[in-house]
Amino acid sequence: MLRSGDEDSLRTEAPQEPDGTWWRASRTPEGPATLQITDRSAPVAGRQITAAAWGPGAAWALEQLPALLGGDDEPEAFQPRHRVVAAAHRKHGGLRLARTGLVMESLVPSVLEQRITSGSAHYAWRRLLNRYGEKPPGPAPEGMRTPPSAATWRTVPSWEWHRAGVDRSRAAAILRICPYASRLEEAASMELPEAMARLQLIPGIGPWTAAETLQRALGAPDALTLGDLHLPVQIGYALIGARNGTDEQMLQLLEPYAGQRHRAARLILLGGRLPNRRAHRAPHSRIAHL
């Protein structure tokens, strides 16, 4: 849910260790933080989660921990309205949506993912994070990075965007975000409509990018992604067998889940009744190689 691709797990998150330990590096309002979470749950003892944190943002990260683990979510508010959704809900009814409380750490990767293959976006994110991210505080695993600050993003020269395969429009959108980073972070404490509107005040940030960001920053159960090439096709196929789904059709199909449309879409995808994927928005192409 929180990663920007599998290989990003070696950058801002580390793979879960055999003892149930998971690491996360983030840039909080108080500064960088490294969070170590250990799940020692057992059938007899029940759920036992412990956490430790390091860095200037350690106290903030620990205070935010329940929300990060889905403690603010209310999965019991969801009521299945379709057979396919009901089947997925029986299997994944405990799905909880994480709330990071951080906007920029999801907004920048979401901009990088606009209109290109996920592989190209993940390559760009890994390269930029490796080059401009910071070593996290404390005993973080080797290879992890704290996401760059807004001030650091503004120092990335044009040729580094180019080498990362980021075109001018996406690089410009990220640079436009940076002067307003503190105002955008305020969206993490807003209701979804106000948060969507706040993010979309920045040119280059549309409904797709705003929803993808707020699904993570807010853990918003109604933050349905619009403008995606695959999602309406997947929803239409799963619910009515349609193979040429559109946003309009998806909105009609998910209308019974108003207030919970993102959760409904997540459950449908987890249910596995999906068509073959189309080609992505644009072919894989490293701009730096042109």
Residue 67 maps to a domain: no
Among the listed residues 164, 121, 126, 114, the one whose alpha carbon sits nearest the alpha carbon of residue 281: 114
Domains identified in the chain, total number: 1
Assess whether pLDDT exceeds 60 at residue 104.
yes
* Statement: residue 290 has pLDDT above 50: no
Q: Say how far apart CA 170 and CA 196 lie, in whole Å.
A: 19
Domain of residue 178 covers 104-217
Residue 181 within a domain: yes
Asked whether residue 210 is domain-assigned, the answer is yes
Residue 130 lies in a domain: yes
Question: What average pLDDT does the segment 49-64 reach?
Answer: 98
Q: Which two tokens stand for residue 19?
A: 């003892």
Question: Would residue 211 count as lying in a domain?
Answer: yes
For residue 9, the model assigns a pLDDT of: 43
Q: What is the pTM of this model?
A: 0.89
Q: Express each pLDDT in 158-182 by its tens digit.
A: 999 999 999 999 999 999 999 999 9
pLDDT band at 11 (very low <50, low <70, confident <90, very high): low
Is 63 inside any structural domain? no
- The model's confidence at residue 276, banded by pLDDT at 50, 70 and 90, is confident
Give start and end residues of each alpha helix (H) in the chain: 58-68, 83-92, 104-112, 118-132, 150-153, 158-163, 168-177, 181-185, 192-199, 207-217, 231-240, 247-253, 261-271
The closest alpha carbon to 70, from 32, 103, 96, 44, belongs to: 96
Given a contact cutoff of 8 angstroms between Cβ atoms, the answer to whether 184 and 198 are in contact is yes
Separation CA 212–CA 109 (nearest Å) = 10
Q: Does residue 68 form part of some domain? A: no
CATH number for the domain that contains residue 190:
1.10.340.30
Name residues whose C-beta falls within 8 Å of residue 116's C-beta, 6 or more positions apart in sequence.
280, 281, 282, 284
**pLDDT (tens digit, 9 = 90+) per residue, 174-204?**
999 999 999 999 999 999 999 999 999 999 9
Residue 120 belongs to a domain:
yes
Q: What is the pLDDT of residue 44?
A: 57
Is the distance from CB of 86 to CB of 80 less than 8 angstroms?
yes
CA distance 290 to 27: 34
Q: Among 13-27, 82-96, 221-235, 268-282, where is mean pLDDT lowest?
A: 268-282
